[in-house]
């Protein structure tokens, strides 16, 4: 059964909504506590101010009473049994009553028997059941009191909290809706660009890597498209090089095989002398060299991990290679070697030095000089200078040299040196041509 695929834009919207909701819940929990503390504090101050103001004008005309719809009050004459004898004035709103006032008065006086002898005013905010109240009393004589009670059901605090809560709720809902709309628009554009990139990549093979990969923009997706296009270009170049290599290899191997075949048939038919077997042997050596180079080239694709590299004594490698070639072409070798080492694999360094020495033997007139000092290897010959055109192309596979030769030797050298973190340069000088190998800076 095919697994149902969830689009990227849907995933982004779900994640954004979840994060926003979780953040909103946490914020609301913290914010609500803060708002409650703030509004309760403001409501308490407002309620106390109302009580203090009313207590000063309670005996005057009602026009001077503070205006409010949030608080109730009652003004009474109370006997020594704390029963209401006379209701002088009241405004109970919709939550207070005579019965509530009676209960508050009785509870207050019974709870504060000792305090009654010391003070006739109490501005401490008290609570009875669901009602906050302030109570002020004045003694008429030992038997009666004038009592003023102001009462609050908490509606003022609620009236402060409600608009703030509404604004916060509307704000968070707006953020979620607007945020999702923006995210949806952005993700849709992003997904379209990714799909375009996917489509262009999927047809690379069928188009033989000729179709350019590009995505508009300057973000990571555009950078990815640019990187893929660079890869496409490299693959295209490699395919071109591979085709050219196959043609050159076919031609390169075909020639000695044809020579061997023709001389072998001639010897068999008695047309030529057996001494011409030397020519066959020479062609076999040429074929052997070509095969060895192909094997070395192929091995470069499977060079071991850098963790397997070790320090190679280059003096030992150079001396071994020179001893194998020092009697060829009447060329004199001059060596100046210290104990410098290069990190890598010894077999690959034998191949590098051998290919450079063989190249030098091909062009040298009389002498080849090899210098190894402070991790810098220089192999020089006294041959003719190489033109700048050939210096830039000498490392390409089967690139024809300035004397018409072509092969894989210098390409193997360059790739090996790169794998080992070194650099190879070619310089023309007054004495001839130098190949220099040294660590990258």
Which structural domains are found in the chain, ordered by start? 233-297 (1.10.287), 304-439 (3.30.565.10)
366: its two tokens:
């009389």
Q: Which helix (H) or strand (E) holds 169?
A: helix 155-202
User: What per-residue confidence (pLDDT) applies to 374?
Assistant: 93
Q: How many residues does the chain have?
A: 441
Alpha carbon dihedral 395, 399, 400, 405, in 10-degree steps, equals 70
Give the C-alpha separation, 429 to 381, whole Å.
Answer: 10
Q: Tell me what pLDDT residue 405 has.
A: 47
Strand-pair partners of 332? 367
Distances (CA, A) of 240 to 243, 248, 297, 397, 414: 5, 12, 17, 11, 19
Instruction: Tell me the CB-side half-sphere exposure of residue 210, using CA atoms within 13 A.
Output: 4
Q: Three-state SS across 246-272?
A: HHHHHHHHHHHHHHHHHHHHHHHCCCC
Q: Which of 75, 50, 77, 68 is nearest to 143 (CA)?
A: 77
> What pTM does this model have?
0.46
- pLDDT for residue 406: 44
In terms of Cα–Cα distance, which of 58, 112, 55, 52 is closest to 82?
Answer: 112
* Separation of alpha carbons 146 and 55, rounded Å: 11
Tokens of 8: 């990227």
Q: Which residues, 6 or more positions from 325, have their beta carbon under 8 angstroms from its beta carbon? A: 333, 354, 357, 358, 361
First to last CA, the chain: 56
Contacts from 108-117 at CB under 8 Å and sequence distance 24+? 108/135, 109/78, 109/82, 110/82
Consecutive 10-residue averages of pLDDT for the chain (441 residues): 64 79 79 82 86 83 78 88 88 85 86 60 70 85 83 84 80 79 81 82 77 78 84 82 70 73 78 73 77 69 72 92 81 91 88 86 88 93 78 54 55 83 87 89 73
Helix (H) or strand (E) holding 29: helix 8-57
- CA pair distance 315, 414, nearest whole angstrom: 20
Instruction: Single out the residue of 268, 266, 270, 341 nearest to residue 309, CA to CA.
Output: 341
Is residue 249 within 8 A of residue 266, CB to CB? The reply is no
How much is the pLDDT for 124? 59
Tell me, what's the pLDDT at 236? Answer: 82
74: β partners:
90, 149
**Torsion (CA) 39, 40, 43, 48 in degrees, nearest 10:** -150
Residue 425's H or E segment, with its range, is strand 422-429
């Amino acid at each position: 059964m095919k697994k149902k695929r969830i689009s990227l834009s849907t995933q982004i919207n779900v994640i954004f909504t979840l994060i926003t909701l979780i953040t909103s819940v946490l914020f609301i929990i913290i914010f609500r506590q803060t708002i409650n503390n703030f509004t309760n504090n403001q409501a308490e101050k407002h309620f106390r101010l109302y009580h203090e103001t009313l207590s000063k004008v309670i005996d005057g005309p009602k026009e001077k009473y503070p205006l409010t719809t949030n608080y109730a009050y009652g003004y009474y004459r109370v006997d020594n049994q704390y029963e209401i004898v006379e209701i002088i004035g009241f405004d109970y709103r919709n939550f207070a009553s005579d019965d509530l006032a009676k209960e508050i008065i009785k509870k207050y006086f019974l709870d504060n028997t000792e305090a009654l002898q010391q003070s006739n005013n109490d501005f401490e905010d008290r609570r009875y059941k669901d009602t906050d109240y302030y109570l002020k009393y004045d003694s008429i004589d030992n038997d009666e009191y004038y009592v003023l009670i102001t009462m609050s059901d908490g509606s003022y605090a609620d009236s402060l909290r409600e608009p703030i809560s509404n604004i916060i709720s509307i704000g968070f809902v707006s953020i979620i809706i607007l945020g999702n709309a923006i995210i949806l628009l952005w993700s849709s554009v992003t997904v379209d660009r990714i799909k375009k990139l996917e489509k262009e990549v999927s047809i690379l093979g069928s188009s033989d890597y000729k179709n350019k990969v590009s995505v508009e923009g300057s973000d990571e997706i555009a950078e990815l498209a640019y990187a893929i296009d660079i890869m496409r270009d490299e693959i295209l170049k490699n395919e071109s090089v591979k085709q050219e290599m196959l043609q050159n290899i076919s031609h390169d191997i075909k020639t000695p095989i044809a020579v061997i075949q023709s001389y072998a048939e001639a010897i068999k038919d008695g047309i030529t002398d057996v001494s011409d077997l030397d020519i066959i042997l020479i062609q076999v050596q040429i074929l052997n060299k070509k095969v060895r180079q192909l094997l070395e080239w192929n091995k470069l694709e499977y060079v071991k991990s850098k963790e397997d590299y070790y320090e190679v004594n280059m003096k030992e490698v150079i001396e071994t290679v020179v001893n194998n070639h020092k009697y060829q072409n009447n060329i004199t070798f001059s060596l100046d070697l210290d104990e410098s080492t290069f990190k890598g694999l010894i077999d690959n360094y034998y191949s590098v030095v051998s290919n450079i020495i063989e190249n030098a033997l091909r062009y040298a007139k009389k002498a080849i000089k090899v210098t190894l000092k402070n991790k810098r290897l220089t192999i020089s010959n006294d041959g003719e200078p190489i033109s700048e055109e050939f210096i830039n192309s000498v490392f390409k596979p089967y690139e024809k040299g300035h004397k018409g030769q072509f092969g894989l030797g210098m390409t193997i050298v360059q790739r090996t040196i790169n794998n080992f973190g070194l650099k190879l340069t070619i310089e023309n000088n007054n004495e001839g041509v130098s190949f220099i190998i040294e660590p990258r800076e």
